[in-house]
Chains A and B, each alone.
Chain A
């Protein structure tokens, strides 16, 4: 009687050991997947490898269904050793995931993040191009910075920007057409408009985000 009970306990122990081994294998697989994904993102990053900062954490798509299923499965199996422990782990994992999701979303997308991506689609691509294309020029950004200090005459802009007489009007026209710069007809001065200042702020914001390392590993 006592011997049979002992055998059963031994069997149970073996089962648990096998279960633990399987779990360890699954964890190892998961780790390998994470490493693979990390390598893939590093290879496909638009930045050169020299400039790329090392990611502080591991890249995990927290919304990935496979990952979530695996974590739930992990929680269920751990629950087999005791309901309390399983529940505890499930709660911890679930809380951690929710917290991480919130944190990542607030860092990368901001508090007004739109999970359906509706906000991102509200600006038609052609309109976005009209607004952003004039900013894709070092000369024009330099002109905006010069105007952000003071309104300036054509001659002053030419001297300060170092642009040739034939080039400056071309850049000014592009900025004027996009509404980033306006010209006084009476005195002839060029002024930066409210959208013009917003464009500079946008450039500054993107620069800060990129140089602080945020966004490099977001895919």
Chain B
């Protein structure tokens, strides 16, 4: 597989590598205090490099997202913890030096067919499309928020059932959108919108405002 799929985005020097293989076993690829992202065995893995350092990857397959959108206040904890299974693709970017690539095994034709792919080239094209679309739509935000501050990790999931989902996590902070569930959480502050229901929590003092 030639590295001809590499692309440069201005000064970001981020490139998508060639298909590395299938994930050997269920692996937690990113974890913070409040969120955990995992991929199932058999998912296809394409590494992402930043100046020749592996900083993330594109996965085609299945996995799990666990989010603790819970804050502790003086009056007690509020919020909810949720688990989702995703089925589709995932783009994951971590901090430099803080990325542990999953262990992989070789890919055969029958494995590609599980994801309705005919060849490795087609798989690579699909991964490239995910990679391109992500930076096309998030270029400014990604440059200012992620590259310059260099903290936390970001994941974008294209789930067949829930559509596009996004999760940014760093320490005890989270920004996420999974279907109708939107959460901004930082320390003891939580803003949560779940469909029509809204919950706003401000400060450790435990001010709770519920709308809807």
Contacts and interface: CB of A to CB of B under 8 A. Distances in A.
Interface of A: 151, 182-187, 191-198
Interface stretch (B28-36, B143-151, B187-195): B28-36
Residue in A195, A197, A198 whose Cβ sees the most chain B Cβ within 10 Å: A197
B6 interface: no
Contact of A192 (B34, B76, B80, B208): B76
Contacts of A194: 73, 75-78, 206, 208
Given A194-B206, A194-B208, A184 B75 contact: no
Contacts of A195: 76
B35 A186 contact: yes
Given A194-B206, A194-B208, A185 B77 contact: no
Interface in B14-61: 31-36
Nearest to B80: A182
B159 interface: no
A191 B77 contact: yes
What 5 pairs between A and B have smallest CB-CB spacing?
A194-B76, A191-B77, A197-B76, A184-B68, A185-B81
A147 B182 CA distance: 28
B66 interface: yes
B95 interface: no
A193 B83 contact: no
A186 B34 contact: yes
Given A182-B77, A183-B81, A186-B34, A191 B206 contact: no
Interface of B: 31-36, 66-68, 70, 72-73, 75-83, 206, 208
A191 B72 contact: yes
Contacts of B32: 186
A151 B78 CA distance: 13
Pick the most buried of A185, A186, A192: most chain B CB atoms within 10 A of its CB.
A186
A182 B70 contact: yes
A197 B35 CA distance: 26
Contacts of A151: 72, 77
A88 to B, nearest CB: 53
28 contacts: A151-B72, A182-B79, A182-B80, A182-B81, A183-B81, A184-B34, A184-B68, A184-B70, A184-B81, A185-B66, A185-B67, A185-B68, A185-B82, A185-B83, A186-B31, A186-B33, A186-B34, A186-B66, A191-B76, A191-B77, A192-B77, A193-B77, A194-B75, A194-B76, A194-B77, A194-B78, A194-B206, A195-B76
A56 to B, nearest CB: 37
Contacts of A192: 76-77
Scoring B36, B76, B79 by chain A CB atoms within 10 A of each residue's CB, the highest score goes to: B76
Given A184-B81, A197-B76, A191 B70 contact: yes
B36 A186 contact: yes
Nearest to A180: B76
A179 to B, nearest CB: 10
